[in-house]
Amino acid sequence: MPATDLPRPWASVPRQFRERGLRWTPQRRAVVDVLAGTDGHVTGAELVDRCRARDPSTIPSTVYRTLDVLEELGLVRHGHGADGREEYHVGPGSEHGHMHCSACGASREIPARAAERIAGVLAEAAGFEVDVSHVTVVGRCRRCRRSASA
Amino acid sequence: MPATDLPRPWASVPRQFRERGLRWTPQRRAVVDVLAGTDGHVTGAELVDRCRARDPSTIPSTVYRTLDVLEELGLVRHGHGADGREEYHVGPGSEHGHMHCSACGASREIPARAAERIAGVLAEAAGFEVDVSHVTVVGRCRRCRRSASA
DNA sequence: GCTACTATTGCAATACGTTGCAGCAACATG
DNA sequence: CATGTTGCTGCAACGTATTGCAATAGTAGC
């Protein structure tokens, strides 16, 4: 199985691993395969499930440890959903936080423009540099506000 | 044990329970007692531990369920720490989010003024009404930024 | 292809929270 | 004070995530 089997953004991952003295194992490849077929976000548990679907012998701790490594390499980022569970953003370039409506359960991305302004506010007020992609704010979305006030 | 044993802001809690058709039980009283002796924030696990310190027979699920009820009554609010664990803010009037520095581990409150501006940004950009006290943003604090750039 | 080095795996144990359910007990009522 | 309702508790099982450790298996070098 040549490494070129991996889709575009992931093709060079095995090399990145080895260059760092890390090892490219079947288990890691499985996780990366699953991530490559994932669009946007996944929770840790979902990822474990999908890996298990391919290989029932998959061990959760291995998946989580692989995700840690991938995060160090900058290939995924993780945050926490409204309920505090791990949530992974796949692929660099998709940095964004989330807004979660506690009324209807919907989750939307925070627009980049808004995220920038928020980062600006915290930088100015407290000198704090926010990791935008780690943020999930909870509240009520436009629709639920309207129907509540009606 | 008269209800007046409970410190100021909690004295009327038993009544609030009963008025809603809820019951005032020894277990609930224990949780409220512990909360009354708590300043600011606690994690769920901490709360369970403190309850167990008073009464080793305390059951975690009872504590968590009591916290849910107290939150519905508006007596506590919960958010999620940087690692996604439950974190309770004790007492109304202390609505605030947190900034957690992933470098040094410190946690500070988000200044009310900044929180307002952030809420404004999201309301304007997406019509979203943020529950400020549920927010924990992760990033780097002023000090860690400085030492990193040096 | 074989070897040595050591990064990873698998597993078991642990921590934090949640949920379903049967039995118990608060409390309003008479 | 006895009683009926039904909200709560305790328990056990489960879901999600993390950690320590011994055994395994990638890799580089020969």
Q: Summarize pLDDT for A110-122 with one digit per residue, the tens.
A: 999 999 999 999 9
State the average pLDDT for chain B: 90
State yes or no: pLDDT of B110 exceeds 80.
yes
Cα gap B32→B75, rounded to integer Å: 10
Give the residue on B whose Cα is nearest the Cα of A126. B142
What is residue A148's predicted lDDT score, i.e. its pLDDT? Answer: 73
Q: Helices (DSSP H) in chain B: which residue ranges?
A: 13-19, 26-36, 44-54, 60-72, 112-126, 142-149
Nucleotide nearest A46 (Cα, C1'): D16
Give the residue on A whose Cα is nearest the Cα of B111. A125
Nearest to B88 by CA among B101, B106, B103, B70: B70
Other CB atoms within 10 Å distance of the CB of residue B134:
22
User: Which of A's residues 68-87 have CB atoms within 7 A of nucleic strand C?
Assistant: 69, 83
Q: Give residue A8's pLDDT band: very low, low, confident or very high (50, 70, 90).
A: confident
Cα gap B136→B129, rounded to integer Å: 16
How far out from the chain centre does Cα A57 lie? 24
pLDDT in tens, A75-102: 999 999 989 999 999 976 667 889 999 8
Please, which positions of strand D sit below 7 A from a protein CB?
7-13, 15-20, 25-28
- The token pair that represents A112 in the structure block: 């980049």
For A93, half-sphere exposure in the C-beta direction (CA atoms, 13 angstrom radius) is 3
- The token pair that represents B125 in the structure block: 């950009």
What is residue B1's predicted lDDT score, i.e. its pLDDT? Answer: 44
Average pLDDT of the residues in B75-90: 92
Average pLDDT of the residues in B82-93: 86
State yes or no: pLDDT of B120 exceeds 70.
yes
Cα gap B149→B144, rounded to integer Å: 9
Cα gap A149→A29, rounded to integer Å: 50
| pTM of the predicted model as reported, rounded to 2 decimal places | 0.86
Which of A84, A86, A114 has the CB atom closest to B121's CB atom? A114
Percentage of chain A lying above the pLDDT 70 cut: 94
pLDDT in tens, B15-33: 999 999 999 999 999 999 9
State the average pLDDT for chain A: 90
Under 8 Å CB-to-CB from B104, ≥6 apart: which residues? B141, B143, B144
Q: Which residue would you say has higher pLDDT here, A76 or A149? A: A76
What is residue B92's predicted lDDT score, i.e. its pLDDT? Answer: 64
**β-pair partners for A76:** A90
What is residue A9's predicted lDDT score, i.e. its pLDDT? Answer: 83
Q: Out of A23-27, A100-104, B81-85, which region has the weakest mean confidence (pLDDT)?
A: A100-104
What is residue B56's predicted lDDT score, i.e. its pLDDT? Answer: 95
State yes or no: pLDDT of A2 exceeds 70.
no
State yes or no: pLDDT of B2 exceeds 50.
no
State yes or no: pLDDT of B4 exceeds 70.
no
- The whole-angstrom distance between A133's CA and the closest CA on chain B is 9
What is residue A94's predicted lDDT score, i.e. its pLDDT? Answer: 61
- CA A140 to C1' D7, in angstroms, rounded, equals 30
- The whole-angstrom distance between A5's CA and the closest CA on chain B is 35
User: Is residue B24's beta carbon less than 7 angstroms from any atom in nucleic acid strand C?
Assistant: yes
- The token pair that represents B54 in the structure block: 């008073």
Q: Give residue B94's pLDDT band: very low, low, confident or very high (50, 70, 90).
A: low
Average pLDDT of the residues in B67-79: 94
What is residue B3's predicted lDDT score, i.e. its pLDDT? Answer: 43
Cα gap A97→A117, rounded to integer Å: 13
What is residue A93's predicted lDDT score, i.e. its pLDDT? Answer: 62
